[in-house]
Every structure is written in structure tokens, then in C-alpha cells.
Amino acid sequence: MRELKIFLVVVVFTALVYWGVEPYAHSVMKPHVAPANFDFQQEDLSFANSIVATKQADLELAKAENNESKIEAAQKALDLANEKLQKNQALWDKVSKMDFSKADASKGAEFFSSNCIACHGLEAAGIAPTIPDSSIYGVLPPDLSGAGLLYDEKFLAALIMNPSLALKVDHKFGDAFIMTAYNVDVSGESEEVTDANIINVIAYLKEVAMQHKADLEQKTKAELEARYAKIEGISEEQKAALIEKDMVFAKEKNTFIEACGRCHSMKYDGLVATSNSSDLKGYLGSIPPDLSMMIRSRGEEYLNNFLNNTQKLLPGTAMPRVGLNEASQKEILAYMEKIGDSKKEERESTGLYIMLFFVILSIFAIAWKRSVWSKLH
Amino acid sequence: MAQIRKATGIVDWLDQRLAVHKLLDVLMVKYWIPKQINFLWAMGVILTTLFTVLFITGLLLVMYYKPDTALAFDSVNKTIMQEVEYGWLWRHMHGVAASVIFLIIYIHMLTGIYYGSYKKGREMIWISGMLLFVVFSAEAFSGYMLPWGQMSYWAAQVITNLFGGIPFIGDALVVWIRGDYAVSDPTLTRFFMLHVCLLPIVIIGIIAFHFYSLRIPHVNNEIAEELDFDLEAEKYMSGDTKNSKVIPFWPAFLAKDFMYISLFMIFFFYLVCFKFNFAMDPINFDPADALKTPAHIYPEWYFLWSYEVLRGFFFDIGGIKAFDIGLAAFGIAQVIFFLLPWLDRSDVVKPAHERPLFFIWFWVLLIDLIVLTIYGKLPPTGVNAWVGFAASLVFLLLLLVVLPVITILERKGAKS
């Protein structure tokens, strides 16, 4: 009994130290944020509101201190936060009024070819990119073949109307963002016309993306079948299962390339960012990090929240909010885990076997100890 | 030359040439351990096991590791963790064992303190153990640098910088340790040498000495009873094993330890495969970047208490800079435990619960060490800084003032 009591004391103090240096310390050091929200209107408004609340509290604090210069600075910050909240409200008000069911994809195609192709390629529809590399803008403009399925439609609408605000890079680029806005103020057209154009072009992008997805699936399947046809010694079912698994991986990898691959490399999978790194440095201020080990250094939860709203976790970062819908974001995180933590499955199953081994060994060890000690007591 | 006869078997053949029976008697079969001990006496063997784990996994890792700032990170995170068969297992075992070994070292040390196993003839056991602790700390620090992640780099930056506080030679010393003006490639290469060559050799040497130092004063026991080992051993060998107060190292003591090791390994591999972040900080999976300071820099958990003593003195006192006071306190914290046998002025060897004042002192010290550890990780701002200051002060007072005073009182009380 005494031995058990001592053991409990050791366990309690060890657990206390563990709690202090791990969960507790991290909860203090890591910023607390609301979990990822794929309703971008809600997300942006609640985020802008929370900033206003913080700035308001700062102002009150400064007032309590009665420090003139601090009050002035805090007031300024509060005004800026309010201004941003209003901008967000105005933008999302407009988006929420749009009726995406009335879209006409063929009109969207026309609009695309007269407006968007100056910068964007649409490979799946046979439209080649006009800008071949990153030297002009610092970053390669994206080919939009998959965009209609990768991104949330409301986010795309907001993005077209006010790119820097929707992407949350307005603090860095202001109104001088490389993508020009398309809205009533810029086009001089009526709201009806601009709204219709926007929903039409999004419908068109969706249509193209469906085609793009089907093409990709077909292509990958053909490639994989050809590759597995050469492999002997496994059954047809096993082959089918392996092809199925590789198809999922190819899809996830493709989503990563389309959403992240213009700026980020994935060295451990042989992927190099399609924009030139020195161009990116000039454009963003620093070279975007390689993402090979991000899943281990940041963890899935952080990345999920970060992609959803970059400013929430890294205020001031030049990385835009990606605007991925929930499904495509999951694919990207799955891909990152398959590259950065490729042995996770093996680790967890092997771990159980090793533990089981020691459980069995312990049983024998206890029996041996008893037999030796039976002569000693 | 000894008489060599025709051997009756391999053992006999060896015995005639190497006296293996005599050797086993001395090392194992007639090495007497008190019977009255609890599981805390198994920590030594668990430490030996963990050191063996570290040594073997370390050898496997060295086969693929590349001590070059351009290659180190990828050789660890790509080659070892993903390409080499079971490389992840060796690395996780190495990383987790390095962290857990300190937990066991602390339990081992605190057991020694609680049962008074550091004095009255056992001083050399204590000192060699403390030496092991210090060299292990250097081994852990040099090993932490090798993956060349963000924490590797910045911890190296902060810790090597500390030597700059040493009067007169500080600045030159920092350059000498780094092998360059900043932490860079030569720093990594020399710490690699320390980690895989010099320090392990030193550790093995001190372990041998630590084991040897146990032989003459013998292992302490749960009630700190002074045993006549010769008499008890005779009793044991005459067949009265039940009444003898000693047991042989083999098989009795090791049978018990083997049981504890087996049980411990279940827990160890749970950590290795499912709960490793405490030992392998996520930040260190970001490659080292001299231009990007991490938001929080902190050492591994086992260095936090002394790190907090370093940070605890955060304001200048009497014209002496905060940094210098902190550094001096840190220096004291590093060596003060060596002096424990002489800070304890009482000659009573008894478990702490039979020494009332010492008992209180022990638990206050333990709580203080835990407070230091927890606050050593938190950002040193606001209230945290003051808690750290108070705990650091309490630590120094406990060892430098309170312990001598209460043990002198104890000695005087015992006489009257």
C-alpha cells in the first residue's frame, strides 16, 4: 500500500508539471481564435467586430491612464477598425443580395473572354495564359480552371467586387492591389448589370471546373491503370483499392497545386512554386515558406483556422485568405499530412503492437519476480 | 601462470582464463542490496536502460544524419523520418527518451534527497550523480541543436550568448564556443562532435564511476537503517533468505527492476507513438531561420526551472545589472546541488518524514521547482515576472540559508 501511495505522489507531481508546461503554457501563448467558419460573410463580420471591440477596450484603457498620446493613437486605431467593419458590411451586403440561381453560364463565358483573360488562363476551356511568368506582377496570375469548385461562390463574388478586402490583404496593398476590382464604382454600369455579370462568370467557372475535374479524373485513372497493369502478383481487387487510394491522393495534390502552388513549394514532394521566388520576395516582402513540414510544425487545427482567415492568427501577414470551401480545404490538409507526416499510419499501428509486446512481457516479468521473491519474504 | 586443465564446458573454459565466476560474483551474485526498498530504487536501472536506448537509437540516427546547416534539417525530417525504414521510430524514441530520462533523473535525485542518501559516506555517489546530471544537460543541449530547426537555432543563440556575461573573457568565450561570430555551420559541426563523441564517452566513464562509488557505502534503504552487510550476506548465503536484510543484485534485485522496466516501457512507447509533442517541439519542425525570431523562445521542459532562475531577476539591484544578477543566480543554481552533502549540517540519515523541519523543506523545494518550471515557459510579463522573481529568490534561500539553518537546529535538537 505504501508503495502505491508513493507511486501516486510521483504521478500527481509529474502530471502537474506536464499540465503546466504543455496544455496550460500553450493556451497562454497561443492566440485564442474562433474556429474556422466557411460562411465567409459571418466570419468576416464577426472578425471585424472583434477587432473593433479590442480597439475599443484599448481606448478605454488609454483613457483610464489619462495618457494623451495613447488616447490619440487608440482613437485612430478604433476609427480604422470601424472603417474596415463598414467596408466589410457594405461588401457582404451586396453579395448577400445576389441570387446565384439566376445565373447564365454562357453569358459568363462571354464576360470572361472579354474581361478576365487579360490576366487569367482557363486551360480547361482552351484559354492559354497571357502572362507566362511572375516577372510582371511578382506572382503568376492563377489559371482558373478549378476555381469554381475550389472556392466558395460568395467568396468569389466578394473577391471580384473588392479583391484586396475579400483576400484580406488590403492592409498591405490598399486599393493598389494587382487584381482590379469589378463593381458599380469601377465599371460605371448599373448594379443590376454588374451583379448579373458576376453571378454569370461564377456559374461559368463552375461549369468549367466540373469539366476540369472530370478530365483530371479520367487522365489520372488512365495513368494509374497503365502503371498498375505492369505490376504483377496482386489481385484485381487489390489493384482497384490501390488505384482508388492513389486517385484520392492525386486529387488532393492537384487541389494543393491549384490553391497554394503559385507561391509555396512542397519540397518533400518535389513541387516548386510556379512563381519565381525572388519575384515573390519583391511582391510579398519575404519568400513564402516551403510547406513540407507545416503539418508537424503548426498542426491541423491551426492550419485549418489560418487558411480560413489568415489575419486571425498572423495579423499583418501578406498571405491572402485563401477562401477555400470546406471540402477543398480538407483535401489540402490531407495532402499536407500525407507529405509532412507520411508515417502517421505506420506509427499509430506499430505503436499499438509495441505496447502490446510490453504488456505481455510485463506479465512474464511479474511472474518471474514473484517466483524469485517467494524465497525472500 | 594458473593451472589450465581440460575444460568441462565453455563456461569453465572462460572461467579458467577470465575468472568469470569471480567476476559475476563481484558484479552481480554477491553484490548486496538492502531488501527494504520501494520502486523508487528502480530508477537507476531505468536510467541505464534509457541511456542504452539513447545510445543505440543514436547510432542508427548517425548513419543518416548530416551535420551541415544546408543538409541537417532535411536529413532528419525527410531522410530519417520518411525514407529510412522505421527511421521515424528511432528518431521518436531518441527524442522522447532524451526528455523522459530527465524526468527519471529528477525522480532519482529527489529520492536521494528525501531519504538522505547523499551523506555520511555516500557523498561520492551524490557528486558523481550530479556530474552525470550536468554532462547529460550538455548532451541534451548539443543534441537539440542537431535537427537545425527554429528552436535548435534560437536556443543555441540564447544559451551560447549567456557565456558573454562571464567577466573579462565573456565575448571571446562566446566566439570560441560558437567557432564563429554567430551560430552557424561550425557551431553545428562542433556540437555534433560533442553530442556523438566526446560527451557520450565522458558519460559512460562517469556512469562506471557512479556504479563503483556505490560499492563501499552501499545502497541506502527505505528506512535508512544502517546494515551490517557482511553479517546479512552471511545470513543470506547460509540459506536464511527470509530473515536476511539483503538481497543479491542478481537475480533478486534485477528481477524486480526488470518488472518495473517492462511496465515503464508500455508508458514509454505510448509517448513515442502517440504523445511526443512535449519532447519534440512543433516549432522545431520549422527550418532554422536567422532572420525570423520565433514568438516565444523557451528551452526544453527539464531546463525550465534553472532558466527561470536566470530570468527571475529582471530588474537592476544596487547598480548591478539584472542580466548579471540572473546569470550569477543561474550559475549558483547549476552547482548548488553538488554541495548538498555539506549544506545539510545534520548527521542524521533518515527519510524526510522522520525529520520534521527537513520534511517541510523538501516539499517546499519541490513545489518551488515546479513553480519555476511552469513559469519558465510562460512569457515573463506582468505578474509572471514577479512570480518568477519570488520563486527564484525562494529557491536560493531554501538551499543557501534555510537548509543549513534547519539542519543545524536538527543536530542541536538531537544532542540535547
Here the cell at position A374 is 517467494
Shortest distance, CA B175 to any CA of chain A (angstroms): 30
Sequence-distant (6+) residues with CB within 8 A of B147 are B72, B73, B76, B77, B284
Judge contact between B146 and B192, C-beta under 8 A. yes
Q: Searching chain B, which residue's CA lies closest to the CA of residue A361? A: B262
pLDDT at B271: 98
Sequence-distant (6+) residues with CB within 8 A of A249 are A335, A338
pLDDT band per the 50, 70, 90 thresholds, residue A39: very high
| Contact list, B242 vs chain A (CB under 8 Å) | 375-377
| Contact list, B83 vs chain A (CB under 8 Å) | none
B168 touches chain A (CB under 8 A): no
Section B59-79 average pLDDT: 98
Residue A32: pLDDT over 90: no
Q: Could you read off the pLDDT of A199-232 as tens digits, one per residue?
A: 999 999 999 999 999 999 999 999 999 999 888 8
pLDDT at B103: 98
| A 318-347 near B (Cβ less than 8 A) | 340, 342-343, 346-347
| Contact list, B89 vs chain A (CB under 8 Å) | 347, 350
pLDDT band per the 50, 70, 90 thresholds, residue B413: confident
Residue A367: pLDDT over 60: yes
Which of B259, B260, B281, B305 to substitute to test the interface with A, most A CBs within 10 Å? Answer: B259
A265 touches chain B (CB under 8 A): no
pLDDT band per the 50, 70, 90 thresholds, residue B2: low
- Looking at chain A, how many residues does it have? 377
Rounded Cα–Cα distance for residues A47 and A43 (Å): 6
pLDDT band per the 50, 70, 90 thresholds, residue A58: very high
Section A68-73 average pLDDT: 91
pLDDT at A182: 94
Section B236-245 average pLDDT: 94
A268 touches chain B (CB under 8 A): yes
What was the ipTM of the complex prediction?
A: 0.95
Judge contact between B252 and B115, C-beta under 8 A. no
For A324-333, b/e burial (b = at least 16 CB within 10 A) is: bbeebbebbb
Interhelix angle for A191-229 vs A68-97, to 10°? 80
Q: Searching chain B, which residue's CA lies closest to the CA of residue A299? A: B282
Q: What percent of chain B has pLDDT over 90?
A: 94
Q: Could you read off the pLDDT of B304-336 as tens digits, one per residue?
A: 999 999 999 999 988 888 999 999 999 999 999
Residue B1: pLDDT over 70: no
Q: Could you read off the pLDDT of B249-274 as tens digits, one per residue?
A: 999 999 999 999 999 999 999 999 99
Q: Tell whether omega for the bond before A132 is within 30 degrees of 0, i.e. cis.
A: no
pTM for this structure? 0.94
- Between B415 and A252, name the one with better pLDDT: A252
pLDDT at A66: 87
Shortest distance, CA A297 to any CA of chain B (angstroms): 4
Q: Could you read off the pLDDT of A104-126 as tens digits, one per residue?
A: 999 999 999 999 999 999 999 99
Interchain CB distance below 8 Å, A13 and B258: no
Judge contact between A294 and A336, C-beta under 8 A. yes
Section B381-394 average pLDDT: 95
From its phi and psi, is residue A128 left (phi > 0), alpha (psi between -120 and 50) or beta?
Answer: beta
Please report how many Cα atoms fall inside a 13 Å half-sphere around the Cα of residue A334, on the Cβ side.
Answer: 16
Interchain CB distance below 8 Å, A6 and B252: no
Interchain CB distance below 8 Å, B370 and A351: no
Size of interface A-B (CB pairs under 8 A): 135
pLDDT band per the 50, 70, 90 thresholds, residue A377: confident
SS3 string, chain B, reads CCCCCCCCCHHHHHHHHHCHHHHHHHHHHCCEEECCCCHHHHHHHHHHHHHHHHHHHHHHHHCCCCCCCCCHHHHHHHHHHHHCCCHHHHHHHHHHHHHHHHHHHHHHHHHHHHCCCCCCCCHHHHHHHHHHHHHHHHHHHHHHHCCCEHHHHHHHHHHHHHHHHCCCCHHHHHHHHHCCCCCCHHHHHHHHHHHHHHHHHHHHHHHHHHHHHHHCCCCCCCCCCCCCHHHHHHHHHCCCCCCCCEEEHHHHHHHHHHHHHHHHHHHHHHHHHHCCCCCCCHHHHCECCCCCCCCCCCCCHHHHHHHHHHHHCCCCECCECHHHHHHHHHHHHHHHHHHHHHHCCCCCCCCHHHCHHHHHHHHHHHHHHHHHHHHHHCCCCCHHHHHHHHHHHHHHHHHHHHHHHHHHHHHHHHHC
Interchain CB distance below 8 Å, A292 and B78: yes
pLDDT at A18: 98
Q: Searching chain B, which residue's CA lies closest to the CA of residue A341? A: B82
A281 touches chain B (CB under 8 A): no
pLDDT at B408: 96
| B 139-158 near A (Cβ less than 8 A) | none
pLDDT band per the 50, 70, 90 thresholds, residue B82: very high
Q: Searching chain B, which residue's CA lies closest to the CA of residue A371? A: B255
